[in-house]
């Protein structure tokens, strides 16, 4: 009773208790090991896995098939949620919904739901900010703060699915804030959890990791046999131009990345997607068509052409301030010429630009 009264007077908010074991983010094997190490049967790990990742339960007391004493023990010793909902905003143009969530250490992150005909995609963040500094990307302009944990990556799905309806989310893309392959371990763990079809019910073919091109990690990911789909943010086939707009190209040149994605395609038997933002006079010339064709004819792939979303709302400096979108007419012509060469090209329609939720526009307006 004494303890209780001191708790009453000075209540400790749950999320400041750093001694608790965070269960969200643990894989099936890790959960089984956790339970056996704490003197419980291993199958409890499977039960908790199912509750957390499949049923999206956020309170240990709702885990109906666990003994009451175990639920209390878990409540006292473990955490289940790593994120809190802050706010959401829906685009009046096309129903795109942007969420802002907060981590326990008070970082804000964004996730976006993109409804399209025949599918609804959830776009997840893997880092707070991004270290890559791509000149066309709002997240790059805000700089890098910290990696997200596997639990924080998965909890974006939990909170979005609880709000939007789990059954309504058909695709998941790792295309929000950050570079997934620079947060490799957490990304792989989150993918391992997503790829267990007893969690989201979404097949691996509908989960895509998008990377700016961290060649050695692309190979590592291929070797993990997760067989999710891979997208490479290509944006130029010329090393010098690509380095200007994507400084990471100096460290991992395009040639290395092309070899790595070829390896990925072969190993996982999947088709690579190349993302290609159309930037006026930078990557929309006839030479670019020829260079794209040379790369694409070598292996199974497709190109997603993306109209450039302006960064003017961020008041950028340097090259970022000079970037302009290619005109819709030139995009049509560019795409048609590629299609005439038998290359599969999709034009991605811009979604959610009115709420700054479009590709590359994710950047937190909040100051910490």
Which residues would be at the binding site for ligand SAH (CB under 6 A)?
Answer: 136-137, 175, 179, 210-212, 233, 275, 277, 306, 308-309, 311, 359-360
Q: How far is the CB of 331 from ligand SAH (least distance, A)?
A: 12
110 part of the active site: yes
Q: How far is the CB of 217 from ligand SAH (least distance, A)?
A: 12
Q: How far is the CB of 227 from ligand SAH (least distance, A)?
A: 19
Catalytic, out of 40, 79, 110, 152: 110
Residue 212 or 343 with smaller CB distance to ligand SAH: 212
Catalytic, out of 123, 130, 237, 359: 359
Q: How far is the CB of 294 from ligand SAH (least distance, A)?
A: 21
Cα(19)–Cα(21) distance, rounded to whole angstroms?
7
Alpha helices in 199-327 (DSSP H): 215-223, 239-245, 248-251, 254-268, 286-296, 318-322
The answer to whether the Cα torsion of 205, 26, 359, 215 is positive or negative is negative
| Structure tokens that stand for 78 in this block | 């473990």
Cα(129)–Cα(144) distance, rounded to whole angstroms?
4
Give the DSSP per-residue string, 183-230: SHHHHHHHHHHHHSTTSS---GGGEEEEES--HHHHHHHHHTT---EE
CB-closest chain residue to ligand SAH = 360
Compute φ and ψ for 302, nearest 5 degrees: -140, 160
Residue 183 or 227 with smaller CB distance to ligand SAH: 183
Residue 31 or 112 with smaller CB distance to ligand SAH: 112
322: DSSP letter: H
CA 236 to mean position of chain CA atoms: 22
359 part of the active site: yes
Q: How far is the CB of 355 from ligand SAH (least distance, A)?
A: 15
Q: Which residues, at least 6 apart from 127, have a Cβ–Cβ distance to it below 8 Å?
A: 144, 145, 146, 147, 148, 177, 178, 179, 182, 183
| Structure tokens that stand for 313 in this block | 């709302």
Residue 22 or 238 with smaller CB distance to ligand SAH: 238
Residue 120 or 210 with smaller CB distance to ligand SAH: 210
Residues annotated as part of the active site: 110, 359
């Amino acid at each position: 009773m004494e303890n209780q009264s001191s708790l009453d007077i000075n209540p400790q908010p749950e999320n400041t208790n750093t001694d608790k074991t965070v269960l969200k983010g643990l894989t099936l094997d890790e959960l089984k090991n956790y339970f056996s190490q704490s003197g419980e049967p291993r199958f409890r790990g499977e039960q908790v896995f199912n509750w957390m990742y499949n049923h999206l339960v956020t309170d240990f007391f709702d885990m109906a098939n666990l003994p009451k004493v175990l639920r209390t023990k878990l409540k006292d010793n473990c955490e289940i949620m790593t994120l809190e909902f802050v706010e959401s905003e829906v685009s009046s143009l096309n129903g795109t919904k942007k969420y802002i969530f907060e981590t326990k250490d008070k970082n804000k992150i964004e996730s976006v739901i993109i409804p399209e005909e025949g599918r609804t995609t959830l776009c997840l963040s893997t880092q707070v900010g991004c270290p890559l500094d791509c000149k066309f990307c709002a997240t790059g302009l805000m700089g890098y703060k910290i990696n997200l944990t596997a639990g924080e990556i998965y909890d974006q799905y939990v909170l979005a699915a609880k709000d939007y309806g789990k059954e309504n989310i058909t695709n998941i893309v790792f295309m929000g804030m950050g570079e997934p392959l620079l947060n490799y371990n957490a990304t792989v763990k989150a993918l391992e959890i997503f790829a267990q079809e007893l969690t989201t019910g979404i097949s691996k073919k509908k989960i895509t990791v998008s990377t700016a091109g961290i060649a050695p990690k692309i190979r590592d990911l291929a070797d993990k046999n997760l067989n999710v789909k891979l997208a490479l943010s290509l944006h130029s086939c010329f090393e010098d131009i690509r380095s200007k707009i994507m400084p990471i190209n100096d460290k991992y040149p395009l040639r290395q990345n092309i070899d790595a994605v070829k390896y990925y395609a072969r190993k996982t038997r999947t088709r690579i997607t190349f993302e290609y933002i159309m930037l006026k006079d930078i990557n929309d010339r006839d030479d670019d068509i020829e260079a794209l064709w040379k790369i694409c004819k070598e292996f199974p792939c497709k190109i997603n052409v993306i109209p450039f979303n302006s960064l003017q709302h961020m008041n950028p400096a340097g090259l970022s301030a000079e970037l302009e979108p290619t005109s819709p007419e030139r995009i049509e012509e560019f795409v048609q010429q590629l299609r005439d060469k038998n290359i599969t090209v999709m034009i991605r329609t811009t979604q959610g630009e009115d709420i700054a939720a479009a590709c590359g526009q994710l950047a937190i307006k909040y100051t910490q």
